[in-house]
């Protein structure tokens, strides 16, 4: 049986699945049920400094984007950090850590950008004996207007400065949570590293307006006729999150910096993808909010079975495994040739591949009078659009041509794949040297 235990920057958990800082982790009642269900750890809903209470809206705080089957693809929220009193949260955190010593309990923090505020809250958190802190430099609404959250996360100098304060006033491991609302994710990650962060976590939510009410002409969720941008998350953001994780994992400046991957993780496959791109743990929010804490059973069972099938004995063996295979476009092998192939036994003759290829792509699919669809290899550029629009899984596949065969489209011989980077026919070979 695969061993799912994880040691992430010294924080141990029985599996790499943590609940992200959000409503599922905002109180003892929730976190205890999550631990009972089997979650390996939690990042407690973000705590703020002592002071005036945080007040949330009293109307709808979530918006959504659905698939055709009404499955939730994207969630948008205008919620703030915890609105529960600091001392109540701290008391509950201490109790939960005492009762569940084998689970990871990280406390998310967001306080004003001055050293005293950070020093004060860190003292309180240290008293709880929590395993670490996560600095919320990510929330894009409500708190950012007050100079916190993504207002800090968008300025690398601030990230470095605050991280340095945290490391100098606390012995706890420190994870810096990054905002994706930035042009180059490597810059804040580098700043976190310079400040002494033990790890980064990403992504927090993406600035978004999910819909506009066409009767009231107000963005949704609508509060008394007005709306504000919110933070987008859920399955729709996973590709963006994966890319950002990969960018940090493969950058020479941040390579090796531990990463906790967040953004759209719903299935064990999503989680493994994050891990192979460099994430040592994954955090989950929207999937738990959509399906409940029970999904942890499928996450752990799926990961365990996958690892057994592939012969991995520890989670660490997966971490970063895909990183060497991420490259820049100029290094892609232009001598690699594939062609689309339609499996006639699976084809339902819907014609979507034909419509897409004929009207918008390369006119490489023929249609017979009895609606038989076939690929013309001398026109096919292997763009993959037919695969993507086909409603039947595995009906259309991309088949690589054998080395030495002739591409009927170009008349060229399919060449030496291995040495393409330095191959004289590669126009980018000089740049690559
Ligand atoms: C309703 C809601 C509240 C959230 N509150 C916080 C928060 O207090 N602190 C924080 O760091 N992230 C917060 N997040 C962001 C999540 O922790 C997570 O980064 C984001 O939702 C992406 O993960 P997901 O796609 O699994 O939801 C919140 C997300 C949602 C949906």
The full DSSP string for 383-407 is --HHHHH-SSTTTEEEEEPPTT-B-
Split at pLDDT 50, 70, 90, the class of 143 is: low
Among residues 139, 285, 347, 390, the one annotated as catalytic is 139
The mean-pLDDT minimum among 167-181, 320-334, 415-429 falls in 415-429
d(CA 275, CA 107): 22
Average pLDDT over residues 50-57: 87
Q: How far is Cα 283 from Cα 265, in angstroms, rounded to an integer? A: 7
Atom of ligand 1 nearest to the CA of 284: 26
Residue 425 confidence (pLDDT): 66
| Cα 366 to ligand 1 centroid, rounded to whole Å | 47
CB 347 within 8 A of CB 375: no
| DSSP states along 57-109 | -SS--EEEEE-TT--EEEEEE---S--S-HHHHHHHHHHHHHH-TTSEEEEEE
pTM of the model: 0.95
Q: How far is the CA of 139 from the centre of ligand 1 (A)?
A: 8
Query: Considering the chain, what is the average pLDDT of its residues?
Result: 94
pLDDT tier, 142 (very low <50, low <70, confident <90, very high otherwise): low
Strand partners, 218: 213
CB of 89 sitting under 6 A from ligand 1: no
Q: Among the atoms of ligand 1, which is closest to the Cα of residue 203?
A: 19
20: tokens are 């992200």
Query: Does residue 139 have an active-site annotation?
Result: yes
Q: How much is the pLDDT for 152?
A: 82
DSSP string covering 189-240, please?
HHHHHHHT-SEEEE--PEEE--EEETTTTEEES-BTTB---EEEESGGGHHH
Among 79-83, 279-283, 424-428, the range scoring the smallest mean pLDDT is 424-428
Distance CA 228, CA 386 (A): 39
136 pLDDT higher than 90: yes
Residue 20: CB within 6 Å of ligand 1? Answer: yes
CATH superfamily of 6-325: Aldolase class I (3.20.20.70)
Section 339-348 average pLDDT: 98
Residue with tokens 């002071």: 51
- Write down the CATH number for the domain with range 329-432: 3.30.70.20
pLDDT band at 330; cut points 50, 70, 90: confident
- Say which residue the tokens 């407690």 belong to: 44
Please check whether residue 16 is in contact with residue 6, taking contact to mean a CB–CB distance below 8 angstroms. Answer: yes
Strand duo 41-47 + 211-213: pairing: unpaired
Supply the residue whose CA is at minimum distance from atom 23 of ligand 1.
Answer: 263
Q: Is 140 in the pocket of ligand 1 (CB under 6 A)?
A: no
- Compute, in angstroms, the gap from residue 231 CA to the centroid of ligand 1: 8
**pLDDT category, 140, cuts 50, 70, 90?**
low
What are the two backbone dihedrals, phi and then psi, of residue 254, each rounded to the nearest 5 degrees? -120, 0
Give strand pairing partners of 338: 400
Q: Is 145 buried (19+), middle (13-18) or exposed (0-12) by CB count in 10 A?
A: exposed
Domain coordinates in residue numbering, the chain:
6-325, 329-432
Q: Is the CB of 385 under 6 A from ligand 1?
A: no
Report the separation in Å between the CA atom of 206 and the middle of ligand 1, taken as the mean of its atom positions: 10
Mean pLDDT of 92-101: 98
265 lines ligand 1 (CB under 6 A): yes
Q: Is 233 in the pocket of ligand 1 (CB under 6 A)?
A: yes
Nearest residue (CA) to ligand 1, atom 29: 22
Q: Which residue lies with its CA nearest to atom 10 of ligand 1?
A: 21
CA distance 195 to 216: 47
Distance 263 CA to ligand 1 centre (A): 9
pLDDT, position 416: 60
């Amino acid at each position: 049986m695969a061993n799912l235990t994880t040691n992430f920057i010294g924080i141990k958990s029985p599996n790499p699945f943590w609940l992200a800082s959000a409503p599922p982790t905002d109180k003892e009642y929730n976190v205890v049920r999550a631990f009972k269900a089997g979650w390996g750890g939690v990042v407690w809903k973000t705590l703020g400094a002592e002071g005036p209470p945080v007040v949330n809206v009293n109307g709808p705080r979530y918006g959504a984007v659905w698939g055709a089957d009404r499955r939730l693809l994207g969630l948008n929220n205008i919620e703030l950090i915890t609105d529960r009193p600091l001392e109540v949260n701290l008391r509950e955190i201490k109790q939960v850590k005492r009762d569940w010593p084998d689970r990871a309990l990280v406390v998310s923090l967001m306080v004003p950008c001055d050293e005293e505020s950070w020093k004060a809250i860190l003292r309180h958190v240290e008293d709880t004996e929590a395993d670490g802190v996560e600095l919320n430099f990510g929330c894009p609404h409500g708190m950012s207007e007050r100079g916190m959250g993504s207002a800090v996360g968008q300025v690398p100098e601030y990230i470095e400065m605050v991280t340095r304060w945290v490391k100098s006033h606390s012995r706890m491991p420190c994870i810096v949570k990054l905002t994706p609302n930035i042009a180059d994710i490597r810059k804040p990650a580098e700043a976190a590293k310079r400040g002494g962060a033990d790890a980064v976590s990403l992504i927090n939510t993406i600035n978004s307006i999910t819909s506009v009410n066409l009767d009231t002409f107000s963005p949704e969720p609508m509060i008394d006729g007005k709306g504000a941008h919110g933070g987008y998350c859920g399955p729709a953001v996973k590709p963006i999150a994966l890319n950002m994780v990969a960018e940090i994992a493969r950058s020479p400046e941040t390579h090796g910096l531990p990463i906790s991957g967040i953004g759209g993780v719903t299935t064990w496959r999503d989680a493994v993808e994050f891990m192979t791109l460099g994430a040592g743990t994954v955090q989950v929010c929207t999937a738990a909010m959509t399906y409940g804490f029970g999904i942890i059973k499928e996450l752990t069972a799926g990961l365990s079975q996958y690892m057994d099938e592939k012969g991995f004995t520890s989670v660490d063996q997966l971490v970063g495994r895909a990183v060497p295979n991420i490259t820049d476009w100029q290094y892609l092998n232009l001598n690699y040739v594939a062609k689309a192939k339609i499996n006639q036994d699976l084809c339902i003759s819907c014609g979507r591949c034909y419509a897409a290829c004929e009207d918008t792509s390369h006119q490489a699919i023929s249609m017979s009078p009895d609606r038989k669809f076939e690929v013309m290899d001398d026109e096919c550029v292997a763009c993959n659009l037919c695969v993507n629009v086909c409603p039947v899984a595995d009906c259309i596949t991309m088949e690589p041509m054998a080395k030495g065969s002739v591409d009927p489209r170009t008349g060229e011989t399919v060449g030496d794949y291995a040495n393409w980077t330095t191959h004289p026919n590669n126009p980018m070979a000089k740049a690559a040297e």
